[in-house]
Amino acid sequence: MNETLRDPKMRMAVKMRAGAAQKVVTEVEKKGRKASKETRRQQLIEATIDSLAKRGYAETTLADVADGAGLSRGIVNFHFESKENLLIATLQYMADEYANHWSSALEKAGDRAANRLWALVLADFDRKICTKRKLAAWCAFWGEAKSRPTYQALCGARDVKYQETVISLCAALKEEGGYSYAPEAMALAVCATLEGLWLRLMMGDGTTRENALAAAIEAIVALFPMHIARNGPK
């Protein structure tokens, strides 16, 4: 596919367009090999996410990633040594991005448990995180995670902290409000709901980001009626 990219001149054009979009980074990159290396790695990771989203895990090839990045066939092995390493780096990148996103949302939300829970839910369906391509890439990894300890560890690490956070929020709300649930069970249910909605978004039945967010809100409003209303924490 896209045979035009096999032509070096065409490739250069792609590279320059990409460069134009990040002018500042490019300036810094000119001097200093380290920066350049990181940039290239980043570029390849993005191309990997694209390929995972477009073709799925099983059909993702290094050739496709290289084409997507507008670079040559041997490039991945130069920067990542192996396909496996590239995929691990990609998952790592997504996991970090996700964790940073919800942690910073949590910080901004302040101290009240209701505000914090609300912020977590909104963060999960934020445009930055909740993209078709990224959801698809996540799901590609989930599909392989069970049989690959490395992926499992990276996906799992994502969840452990998140779920602990949700458990403590559920416990705090119970304390405040007089609910009767078991915090661990309720937290598991909340996390599962959010993940399940992601799965739905990805599967491409009619569900949209807005539907999903609405469903998530409906659920937490019903689960924590003393603390959360449809338009936000009380």
Q: Does 2 bind DNA (CB under 7 A)?
A: no
Taking residues 55 to 84 in sequence order and writing x for each that binds a second copy by CB under 8 A, - otherwise, the string is: xxxxx-------------------------
Nearest in space to 64 (alpha carbons), one of 81, 79, 44, 90: 44
Query: What are the start-end ranges of the E strands in the chain?
Result: 228-229, 232-233
Q: Alpha-carbon distance 35 to 138, whole Å?
A: 27
Beta bridge partners of 232: 229
Partner whose footprint covers residue 208, from DNA, a second copy, none (CB < 5 to 8 Å by kind): none
Question: 47: Cβ–Cβ under 8 A, 6 or more apart, which residues?
Answer: 65, 66, 68, 69
- Say whether residue 148 binds DNA (CB under 7 A): no
Among 2, 4, 82, 208, binds DNA (CB under 7 A): 82
Do 65 and 82 contact (CB within 8 A), yes or no?
no
Residue pair 209/201 in contact by the 8 Å Cβ criterion: yes
Which of 109, 119, 169, 191 forms a contact with a second copy (CB under 8 A)?
191
Question: Does 19 sit near DNA (CB under 7 A)?
Answer: no
Nearer to a second copy by Cβ, of 75 and 137: the residue is 137
Strands 228-229 and 232-233, bridge-based pairing: antiparallel
Q: How many residues at the interface with DNA, by CB under 7 A?
A: 28
7 binds a second copy (CB under 8 A): no
Between CA 3 and CA 9, with CA 6 as vertex, the angle to 5 degrees is 120
Contact window for DNA (CB under 7 A) among 68-76, 105-113, 139-147, 210-218: 68-76
- 8 is in the binding site of which of a second copy, DNA, none (Cβ under 5 to 8 A by kind)? DNA
Question: Minimum distance from CB of 152 to DNA (Å)?
Answer: 20
- What track of x and - describes contact with DNA for positions 21 through 40 (by CB under 7 A)? ---------xxxx--xx--x
Q: Cα(10)–Cα(166) distance, rounded to whole angstroms?
A: 49
Instruction: Please tell me whether residue 81 adopts helix, strand or coil conformation.
Output: coil
Considering CB distances under 5 to 8 angstroms, the limit depending on partner class, which of a second copy, DNA, none binds residue 31? DNA
C-beta separation of 176 from 227 below 8 A: yes
x/- track of binding to a second copy for residues 129-148 (CB under 8 A) = -------x--xxxxxxxxxx
Examine residue 204 and tell whether it contacts a second copy (CB under 8 A): yes
